[in-house]
């Protein structure tokens, strides 16, 4: 029976001292760096996975409890905010005479007529 290939993940350390510490600890424990990193990740996942699961369950619960009234209220709140408050993210356009990349000039050039127009076959030319 053929064995399944093991997943491979290349790990690049941003801090050389982290790589050195992994090597030192793995040598001290007489295991490979790969084995040590896998154990460390597994231990960290025991802490992180339940937190992620909790957040996802809370998001699912929030979506499942939405009602049509919630949607209507949200639309009303949004519409009210649009006319009541200044838009802090309102974009500001460039001055009318500004064209730092020459975009406007590309559209100001007249389109020239083709010098020779192809006549469909059988048409008087």
- What average pLDDT does range 35-63 have in this prediction? 96
Residue 40 — pLDDT band, cuts 50, 70, 90? Answer: very high
What are the residue boundaries of the structural domains of the chain, listed by start? 16-84
CA-nearest of 47, 50, 24 to 36 is 24
Rounded Cα gap, residues 34 and 10, in angstroms:
10
User: What is the 3-class SS of 37-78, one letter each residue?
Assistant: HHHHHHHHHHHHHHHHHHHHHHHHHHHHCCCHHHHHHHHHHH
Contact 23/37 with Cβ under 8 angstroms?
A: no
Percentage, residues of the chain above pLDDT 90: 48
pTM of the model: 0.49
98-110 pLDDT, tens digit per residue, is 888 888 777 877 7
What is the overall mean pLDDT for the chain? 86
How crowded is the C-beta side of 89, counted as CA atoms within 13 Å?
1
Q: What angle do CA 44, 48, 54 make, to 5 degrees?
A: 160
């Amino acid at each position: 029976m053929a064995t399944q290939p093991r997943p491979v993940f290349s790990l690049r350390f941003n801090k050389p001292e982290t790589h050195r510490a992994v090597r030192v600890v793995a040598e001290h424990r007489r295991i490979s760096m790969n084995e040590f990193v896998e154990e460390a990740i597994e231990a960290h996942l025991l802490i992180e996975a339940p937190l992620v699961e909790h957040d996802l369950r809370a998001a699912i619960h929030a979506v499942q409890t939405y009602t049509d009234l919630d949607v209507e209220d949200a639309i009303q709140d949004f519409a009210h905010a649009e006319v009541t408050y200044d838009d802090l993210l309102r974009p500001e356009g460039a001055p009318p005479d500004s064209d730092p990349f020459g975009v406007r000039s590309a559209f100001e050039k007249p389109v020239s007529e083709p010098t020779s127009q192809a006549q469909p076959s059988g048409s008087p030319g």
